[in-house]
Structure 1
Amino acid sequence: QVSTVSALVPAPFNGTVIGLIMPHAGWIYCDSVAAEAVKLIRGKTFNDVILIGPSHREALSGIAIDDSEAWETPFGLRSVNAELGNKINVLKQAAFNGKIHKKEHSLEVVLPYLEYALGDFLLTPVIVGQSFEDSSALARRIAALYQEGMLFAASSDMSHYLNYDKANEMDGRCLAYIENFDSEGLKTALKNGEVQLCGASAVLAVMEASRLAGADAVKVLKYANSGDTVGDKSRVVGYAAVCFYKKGVEMLNSEEKKTLLNIARKTLEQYASTGRVPDFNIESERLKEVQGAFVTLKKGGMLRGCIGNIVGAKPLWQTVRDMAVESSSRDPRFPRVTKDELRDIKIEISVLTPPQKVTADDVVLGRDGVIIRRGARQGVYLPQVADETGWSKEEFMGSLCKHKAGLSEEAWREDDTDILTFQADVFGE
């Protein structure tokens, strides 16, 4: 039974999770720590999980890939991705070795947590020996195979059988190396006995692979040891849940939103009066970051203009200023906004995250803006379109294809059509 996680809801998180470290002790000891990883990834879509652990019962030289068709777990049968296993097996250090997997617990303890969090995915189970050269080779290989929808997960506990205070001290040093992506420092500390990880090579493989695959940040989700979870503090084992991720776009605070609305309003007023575009002295570093945005104008609750730049090419404040001009004067659906209209017009700004390629199943109405692209044809709907229309996904996608991209209503179902999503921070006057 995966106990602690049953009451958890997904944690808000601004970034793309690429790798995890999770503990593999008995569930009564490490459940509360593993649950934090579950909380982070629950409800997210991952098609493949490469789960890497150590060998406790048998000495292993190299990398052992399981060749089973499926693993039996408390949730049923979990299919193994043989194709991905074959792609890892090209390493000279690697071999298919189901026998060693049958004796090892480090992966099977972690797997139910991942199943509870993610639902359906293909599993690639890998055991790696103690050689850091092998772990680095594995890291480079799986990083080369990485694509969106893939998760690396390392199974490892931390210090073993120290007293409570010494365990906290040693594990704190270990986590400092991990938080700083300092794999070389961690290797040296492990060799010198300054820190302990029973799955050291697995941790290093996921740590290095995540970095190579684009992770630029680390978050320690929770640390505890068995003294915290079962009470005996004389001889404890340490546990950590750690996330390697690519940072998302930082959300705007209320003052930054107010500044952007003020820029849009003053731009509309000056452009409608004089035809000139004003300049602004911007102090906020956040508003100087390059980012896409849309400016939407409404009059009496009805659309009066909407134009934007999906992929940012200019500082955000400048994008908003320029899109205010575009939406008021160059939206082909409407005549140019006049000075006399301005008092009746309300401004809405949508600040966008970078688009990511997805499948139709990944699209969540109301959360995602969607781009349909085939060749030179492209169309986009902002996230709020779904809420404003009440459309089903089929209606939303069909309208986007037909009315925005000039394609057939069913084009979104076809293989040669790309679907991209983005999210928006939407605010207005």
Structure 2
Amino acid sequence: MGQREMAVAGSFYPKSKEEIDKFIEYFNQSFSLKNASDNLKVRAIIVPHAGYIYSGFTANLAYNLSSKNRYKRVVVIGPSHKIYIEGASIALYESFKTPLGDLKIDLEYSLKLKEAYSFLTFIPEAHKEHSTETQAPFIKNYFEDIKIVELVYGKLDFNELSKLVDELLENKDNLIVISTDLSHFYKLEEAKRLDNICLNAILKRDLELFDKGCEACGKVGVKALVKSSIKKDLEFELLHYCTSYDRTKDDTSVVGYSSFLLKEKV
């Protein structure tokens, strides 16, 4: 079955373990966890997938908080940017390479999902995808020996994906990771306006609001998770929102980033 090789190491994130360790150490020195309760039962996270210098802090928050829980596997779901896909591709490799060491792919679980959902296939080319790969070093850092499942989707109805997410949520051994950035390449004020629609749609679990201006590239995955959260009566918590402007100081063409927890109500 082979290995899921790294496609964007050295561009979206560093190639070396030492540099990634420095990034994560820096991110963790930059905030204090006011609500890091031992009772925090995190079932899923929504995280960005840009270069670590832009959105790594935002993503790291969600991984840090969710790592207070124990899981057997992480299921990473992200949109395809490089190739057109009908449905989704699930990675049928044995391992997933990262600069921090390999993650074991849960091949048995992945094959079962592929059998159960007709929209799942295996397209090797789809797994040179940064939306999912940028998550792998965080996963290896925070959940060292956990197994991973990688799912990259293209043209897919969120209602179909939500059926799979429902099944994933039935099993508390799973942490679901939904990868998305927000608006792309607007002026800062317009980006914030559009992103605010996305953030409110998630927090209010309002599926109709997404279609009133939310331009998240992973909107299908986010809507699927929101639909499932309504069924399972789970709630979202916004951890962080920022834009590329915070890093570049260029307000003429920005990208938005956010991270959320989906958790059981206390």
Query: How high is the TM-score relative to the length of structure 2?
Result: 0.83
Q: Deviation of residue 247 (structure 1)?
A: 1.5
Q: Which amino acid aligns with 2:184?
A: H
Q: Does 1:144 align with 2:167?
A: yes
Partner of residue 209 from structure 1, selected from 197, 217, 228: 228
Structure 1 residues 5-404: aligned runs within 5 Å? 5-6=24-25, 8=28, 12-13=36-37, 14-89=39-114, 90-101=116-127, 103-131=128-156, 133=157, 135-145=158-168, 146-186=170-210, 188-189=211-212, 194-212=213-231, 214-248=232-266
Q: Please provide the CA RMSD for this pair.
A: 1.9
Aligned pair count reads 239
What does the per-residue CA deviation read over 1:380-404, in whole Å, with 9 as the maximum and x for residues that have no partner?
A: xxxxxxxxxxxxxxxxxxxxxxxxx
Which residue does the alignment assign to 1:256? none
Larger Rg: 1
Q: Calculate percent identity across the aligned residue pairs.
A: 27
1:185 Cα deviation from its structure 2 partner? 3.0
8 A Cα contact 1:5 1:39, kept in partner: no
CA contact (8 A) 1:69 1:80 kept: yes
3-state SS of the aligned residue for 2:44? strand
What secondary structure sits across from 1:205 in the alignment?
helix
TM normalised by structure 1 equals: 0.53
Structure number with the bigger relative contact order (C-alpha 8 A, sep ≥ 6) is 2
Query: What SS does structure 1 have at the residue aligned with 2:41?
Result: strand
1:97 deviation in Å?
2.0
Q: Which moved more, 1:177-186 or 1:15-24?
A: 177-186
Cα pair distance change 1:206/1:3, threshold 3 Å = farther
C-alpha deviation, 1:144, in angstroms:
2.1
Q: Which moved more, 1:223-232 or 1:136-145?
A: 136-145
Mapped to 2, the partners of 1:205 and 1:3 lie a distance apart of 34
Tell me the CA shift for residue 245 of structure 1: 0.9
Distance in 2, Cα, partners of 1:126 & 1:56: 13
